[in-house]
Structure formats: C-alpha cells, structure tokens
A and B are shown apart, each in its own frame.
Chain A
Amino acid sequence: MIRRMWHATSLWFSQTWDDLKASADAGLLGGARFLGLIYGPIDRRLRIDDALRKALKYRLDPHVGWRQMFGGITYVLFMMLVVTGVLLALYYRPSVQEANPSVQHIVSNVSFGWLIYHVHVWSASLIVLAVLAHMARVLFEAAYKPPRETNWTVGLLLLGVVLAFGASGYLLPWDQWAYWTVTEVLVAISGFPFFGGVIADALMGDVIVSGATLSRFFSLHVIVLPWISLALLSYHFTLVRRRGIAPPVEVNEEKAPWRLSAVGTTQEVLKQAMEEAEQQGTPFFPNHLLRSLSVTVLVLALVVTLAVLFPRPFGNPADPLTVPDRLVSTWVPVDVSLALLRYLGMWGFTAFTLVGFSLFLLPLFDRRPERHIRKRPVVAALGAVFFGGFVMLWALGRGIGSLPPSEGIGQVERQERVVPARSSTPLERVGPTPVEPGSPADSAVGDGVGRP
C-alpha cells in the first residue's frame, strides 16, 4: 500500500519535472544568463536540464581567479539590497508623518525587521566599497582598455547609480541626521553656478526639505533607479560575456574576442564556438561556481554580522524647525565627505570629486596597448590617489563620525519672516540715524519679530 503510494507520488513528481523540462524555454535560461546568473552558451533547442548542463560546462580562462571576485560581490550585495529593499517597502510609508514611525515599526515590531533594515543599510555601504574594489582591479589590470572601454564607462555609470541609490535612500529614515544632511547637500548643490539652483529645486520640490522632497527621493529610490540599474547591469553583463574577461597584463590580445549569443545564431556557428571554448581553461562548474558560492556565503555572513554588531543609530524624528547639534554620518560616501571637508575643505572635496570624474575619460586618453602597471605611471598614480585616498578618507571619516551643521542652515524660514521696514513710519525718526532699507541694521531691526 505504502509502496504503491510512494510509487504514485514519485511518478507524479517525475512527470511534473518532465513537463517542466519540456515546456521550459531556453529563453528562460537566456534571461538567467543575461542577468549573470549562469555562465556558458545555451542552446535554445535543448531541454532545460541539458541546456543547464551545457551552460555550466563553459570554461573560463585559467588566469581567472579570486581577483575577479569583486564584481560578483557587488552583484551579490545588489541582489541583497533588492530583496531587503522590497521587504522594507512592504512596511515603509513615504510621508512626513509616517516615514520615521514606520521605520521604527520595522525595527522594533516587525519580525526580523531590524535585521532586514540594518542589512539593507550595511549593504548600501559595502556595495560602494565593493564597486570601488572592482573598479580598482579593472584599473590596475588595464581591463578598461579596448576592446572593453565601453564596459568601463557603463561600470562608471553604474557607480553613479549606486551613489544615487544611496543618496536618495539616505533621506528615507526621515530622522534629524538624514533630514539635515540632505538639507546641507541640497544647499551645497544650489550653490553651483548656472544649473545648481535648478537641480536643487527639482530635487527639493519645495523651499525646504519637506514631504515633496521625501516623495521625490522615494520614487527615485524604488522606481526610477531600479529600472536604470537593470538596464545598465544587463548591458554590463552582456559586454562581460561577449568580450570575455581580460587576459593577464603580460599577454597582448591579438584580436578582440566577441563571443556569440545563443539567441539568434545558427547551430553550426554555435557548435564551433563551443568546441573552441572547451579546449582551454577551467570549467565554470564546479570550480568557479564553488568559489562564487563561498564568496557569496562569506559576504552574506559578513553583512549579517555587521548589521547585528553595528546597527545604524537613529536620530530624533526630523524637525524642520530645530537644527540638531551634530549630523551623524551613516553611509560610506558621507564619511568620506566628512573627512574631505574637515581636512581639505570645500576645494579638496571638489578636487577629489574631479579626480573621480576624470576616471570617466580614462579610456579616451589612455589607448596605448601597454597594460603593465609599470608602463602606465600616470594612471597608476591616479588610481592610487583615488582608491587609496578613498579608503584613507573613509577611515578618517569613521573617526570623525559627525559634524555640526553649517551656520545659518536653518535660517530660511526666519529670513522670510523679516518684514522690510517702511521708511515712512514715525518710529524710525526717533533713532539717531534713519535706517536704510536693506542695510544690515535694517534686518537687525526687524529680526524675526515681524515688525520693524
């Protein structure tokens, strides 16, 4: 009886699996590979298990190893941010009244909400470091040189997306630190010549950081940027696949590789390409997959550990009428900015940002075939300054931790309340000298009281 039931059940399972295999389209696998979930060419005419097997047999060049892991780590952290972000969005409410209480609710009442929240916050910091480590590896190994220069640019755009994600997410807890740090940044942006005011106004949506700003940052964070990053990531991964991973610096590539996609190619061309690929290198499965798995697990454990041991501290709920004594930093780029502003001032901050932007242009002015680090002193120095500087400044910024807000940051309301003095009122004639409208003495007279 039991045996017959077992037999029936296992038969049902195997039939279901067969149906699944028969109905699964290689497009699904293509999509998975497109997102970098699996490697190797996939034949859309194969059943899903054969296609998977074939895909996993894909071989990578023998020099590909641990140094190439940072891109993968970035992707793992990105996926963690996506998953924890979706979970946070279940409870988060992007309104002035509810934003901070909903975060408190997530952290203190929702089961494992604290873990999800702090993992999200820590991943947001670590992804910046992972991106920069990935970028440093590419820079020092000259992997940005032709034929991979497009991917360098796409990667830098992705760095911008990561920073935009973090900056827009920074406001969402809606506590005093988030509120006033964003106010500081927007005031600084509005100080840029020509377009600064327009950008700051567009981001702020009001004369102060308010519910309009919160809505804008929220929609950027959960609607706009995810789609942009999906598009850029897909392109990034596709280019990695098509162009292959850069060879060691000693090797000069004779011809630029362009690997073929399984989608839209003929069987013969694909077969030939696969046979070529199978000749050399280590197979993705199991070698690289096991390494990736180890790294992924390690990163997950690390993030959870950081989230448990060093949860993000909270400030008081945001209050536009009270400027806090100190603004505490809760994100790596803010730490770096703190250190830059403290030790190098506004000019140092600008210079460092310009060094970062100059990396965009790297493939344009560095097109010679030399790839060894000793033959590229300028780029090596640039990289050392930027990446070494970033790590050093980050450490310094963690030490500083917080800065007092700048003078007069909360004075917008007050200034607007001052009523200009009327020169015809008899009161002014009592004073020793008549007060010129608009002079400093004039605003002192009307100081916030609303009457001259």
Chain B
Amino acid sequence: MRTLSVLGLVLLLGAVPDGATAAPVPPAQRLAAQDDSVYGCIVCHADKRRSFTLGVHSEQGIKCHDCHGGNTAVYEAPAAHQGRFVGTPSKLGTIQLCSACHADPNQMRQYGLAADQLAEFRTSRHGQLLLEQGDAAAPTCTDCHNAHLILPPEDARSEVHPTNIPATCGNCHEDAQLMARYREPTDQFERYRTGAHGVAVFEQRNFAAPTCIGCHGSHAALPPAVNQIADVCSQCHELLGRAFYRGPHGGPARSGELQGCLGCHSNHGTERTPFDAIAALCQRCHDAESGPGLMGAEIQEQVLRATEELHQAADAIDEMVAMGHEVADERFRYQSAVSEYNQVALVQHSLDLEQLRDLGLRVRSNTGIIRATAEAHAEEQWEHKLLLVPVWFLALSVIALAWFKLREAKP
C-alpha cells in the first residue's frame, strides 16, 4: 500500500512511467476497439457494464480496459486479469487514473471541460489530507463521483447535481465518528436544508442558489478565510456586498477583524434577522446607548414602520377590490413602494441612516396615497347611505298618502 502511494505521488508529479498502469487510449483508437459481443469483461461484470454504459464515458467509446487493462479477448478470470491489469485502484491510483485524461487540457478541450481539477484538488483540504498526509480517510475522485456511472452535473441522477451535492458531501460530513477526527461539526447539511439556500434548491428547484460547492468550491473545497467571507457571499449578493463594504463594517471585514457577513448571519443556516431583532443584534457588540446602538434602534424602527405601512397599503387595496374599484394605479404605487422597500435591505448593510430615512419617506408617500384613496372610497360609501334619507322620506310619504286615500275610498 505504501509503495503504491509513493508510486502514485511520483506519478502525480508528472513522471508517469508508461506501462506501469493502463494509460487510456486516445479516442480515435477507441472507436476501432473490439466489438461488444466479443468483449471479455462483461461475461462476469455485467452489472458494471450496465451502469457504465449509461454514463458519459461510454458515450465517448471508452471501455473497461482503457482504465483497468487486462486481456479482453478471453472469457476466463485468471487469463483475463493478465498483463497491465488494475482491479480496484487505490485512492491515489484513482486520482492518477482520472487525471491522466482530466488534467490534460488537450484531451478535455473537445468536451469543453476544464482540466484544472487535479490542480484544484491539490489546494483543497481533501487534497492536502490525501496527497500530503496520506490520510486514507480523505476522499478521492470516486468518493464523490460514481466510479462507473458517470453522469453530467445536469443529470438529476448525478451525485453532483445541485439537489444531490449536499447529500454527497454529507456522506462524510454527516458522519460524526469520522468528523470527530478533524474536529468538524456534522450539522451543516441539516442547517443548510432549512436555510434560505436549501429551501431555494430543494423546494423551489432554483439551481442558481448555492449548494455546498457554491461557497466552498468543489475540487478546491476549503472554508473561506475570515477576510474572504463577505467576498464569497457577494458573488451572488453583489449589491449587498458593495453596500456592506461601503459601510462602517467594510473595513474591519477586509482586514479580518470582523467575520464579514457571519458577524450577523450564520453560514449554513443563513438566517435572516427578524425585523424586530435588529436593535438587539447591534447590541450584541455595541452598547445600547452608544451611537451605533442608537442607530440600530432607529434602523429597526424605520424597517418595522415601512413593513407595517406596506401591510396596511395591501389591506387598503384588498378593501378597494372588494368594493369593486379600479386599483391599477394603487397596484402600481404599491409596486413602487415595494421596490423602495427592497432597497432598505441595502441600507441595512451600508448603514447609511440618511438614505434609510429617505427610503422610509418614499415608501410612506406611496402607501399614504393608497390609504388616502381607500379612505376616500370608504367616505364615498358612507355618503351613499345618505341617499337612504330622501328615498325613505319619499317612500313613506307615498305610502302615507296612499293609506289616507284608501281609508277615504272605503265604503
């Protein structure tokens, strides 16, 4: 085993002695390979053939012996397993085997695939453990990608499809016994699944939302450094990231004094701060009576007030709809108010109080008009009731006159 790892290392460093293992054959020759019907491996390994033929490698004409070697012309085990035969490769052997093609840009170009997986893997924690420390528990290619059934990431059955990635990572990262060796927590998957990103991926099937690899990288898997956290998040939350760096917390986050976004949010759970807990959040670090503490209180008040205004405006619109009024203008105003309200989130990160007050004012100016319109309609409805006074006056007068006349007419 040890010799093998050393051998593997040597191979990885580029000095691949030809003939030591089965080097894959270029595609042109593969097409001329033997016909399936006289292919020896499938006599025993029918199950492997079945999964392999569904994968992308089979589509490109790759066959068993391209990776495993052996003699495919015979149908009996000892004879078939002769020559440059590799049964189940070791972890290092696997890396060597895969990277023989996948680290070669010339071969990957035709498929539009990157050839940097090996280079990335070397930088990752997984790679460090496996390649430098020889940790047998560290993952190799086939721990995340199926050895035979290799599918493109777009395929929902693939281990690296967005909905499957968290479970693929969880194979090891949810294993408490294994993770205890590295002092790693095991609740990431669970917290991710219930967080905003997990809900987006699993429930809304929004694959633009990140899975594990969105923040940690796939082959170069590593937790971001403290001063990189805000940059990782702003890959998607671009405007929020810019606002954050503009604000007073930006500097400390750059220098690593502050944990970037994690100062207020959690990493895997990505909880939002409830609007009524903003002030309390600020007070975790700042004194309530200090400038930043007071600022937090005002932000909370402004946000809560704008939220309440929007709710009231929505109720007012519902009321007008129930009365049968046209509400196209009010709906438009409501949309304007909502788009201004959404900018409040930016200000919460840049902590620009002036801008926040201005946004609050703009939200209120729109919702105020909506509510005023609804009130005017309600007033109108009340005025309609005044109509009943003349109606009943006339009706009762007519009835009274009719009664007098009737009494007169009676014999």
Interface residues of A (CB under 8 A from B): 101, 103-105, 107-109, 114-115, 117, 286-287, 290-291, 293-294, 297-298, 300-301, 304-305, 308-309, 311-316, 426, 430
Contacts and interface: CB of A to CB of B under 8 A. Distances in A.
21 contacts: A104-B325, A107-B325, A108-B324, A108-B377, A286-B405, A286-B406, A291-B402, A294-B399, A294-B403, A298-B399, A304-B387, A305-B388, A305-B391, A305-B392, A311-B323, A312-B324, A315-B322, A316-B321, A426-B54, A430-B54, A430-B157
Contacts of B392: 301, 305
Contacts of B325: 104, 107-108
Contacts of B398: 293-294, 297
Contact of B388 (A286, A298, A308, A430): A308
A198 B281 CA distance: 66
A177 B131 CA distance: 67
B385 interface: yes
Contacts of B385: 308-309
B326 interface: yes
**CB-CB nearest 10 A-B residue pairs:** A301-B395, A107-B324, A290-B402, A314-B324, A108-B325, A313-B322, A294-B402, A294-B399, A104-B326, A297-B398
Nearest to B381: A311
Contacts of B394: 297, 301
Nearest to A106: B324
A103 B326 CA distance: 9
A104 B402 contact: no
Q: Which of A108, A287, A315 has the most CB of B within 10 A?
A: A108
B181 interface: no
B409 interface: yes
Nearest to A312: B324
A298 B387 contact: no
Nearest to B320: A108
Given A107-B323, A316-B321, A298 B406 contact: no
Nearest to B318: A316
A305 B391 CA distance: 9
A291 B324 contact: no
A298 B326 contact: no
Contacts of B321: 314-316
Interface of B: 54, 157, 321-326, 377, 381, 384-385, 387-388, 391-392, 394-395, 398-399, 402-403, 405-406, 409-410
Contact of B323 (A109, A308, A314): A314
A291 B406 CA distance: 8
Given A105-B326, A114-B384, A290-B402, 18 more contacts: A103-B324, A107-B324, A107-B325, A114-B324, A297-B395, A298-B395, A298-B399, A301-B391, A301-B392, A304-B391, A311-B381, A312-B324, A313-B322, A314-B321, A314-B322, A315-B322, A430-B54, A430-B157
A311 B322 CA distance: 10
B163 to A, nearest CB: 14
Contacts of A309: 385, 388
A255 B247 CA distance: 102
Contacts of B391: 300-301, 304-305
Contacts of A104: 324-326
A197 B326 CA distance: 37
A128 B74 CA distance: 92
A206 to B, nearest CB: 26
A101 B326 contact: yes
Q: Which of A109, A290, A291, A311 has the most CB of B within 10 A?
A: A290
A116 B391 CA distance: 14
Contacts of B403: 290, 294
A351 B398 CA distance: 45
A299 B58 CA distance: 85
B72 to A, nearest CB: 24
A294 B193 CA distance: 72
B402 A293 contact: yes
Given A311-B323, A314-B322, A430-B54, A290 B384 contact: no
Nearest to A109: B326
Nearest to B410: A287
Contacts of A108: 323-326, 377
B326 A290 contact: no
A319 B149 CA distance: 46
Contact of B406 (A290, A313, A426, A430): A290
Contacts of B157: 430
B155 to A, nearest CB: 10
Contacts of A300: 391, 395
A446 B403 CA distance: 75
A78 to B, nearest CB: 20
A20 B402 CA distance: 29
A304 B399 contact: no
Contacts of A101: 326
A217 B384 CA distance: 31
A293 B395 CA distance: 10
Contacts of B377: 108
A115 B383 CA distance: 12
A286 B410 CA distance: 10
A111 to B, nearest CB: 12
B242 to A, nearest CB: 37
Contacts of A313: 322-323
Contacts of A105: 326
Given A290-B405, A291-B406, A304 B388 contact: yes
A291 B324 CA distance: 37
Contacts of B395: 297-298, 300-301
A287 B325 CA distance: 46
B326 A286 contact: no
A421 B322 CA distance: 45
A308 B399 contact: no
A39 to B, nearest CB: 16
A291 B401 CA distance: 11
Nearest to A303: B391
Contacts of B402: 290-291, 293-294
A308 B326 contact: no
A430 B325 CA distance: 57
Contacts of A290: 402-403, 405-406, 409
Contacts of A114: 324, 384
A287 B406 contact: yes
A117 B323 CA distance: 12
A311 B320 CA distance: 13
Contacts of A109: 326
A398 to B, nearest CB: 17
Contact of A308 (B54, B324, B384): B384
Contacts of B399: 294, 297-298
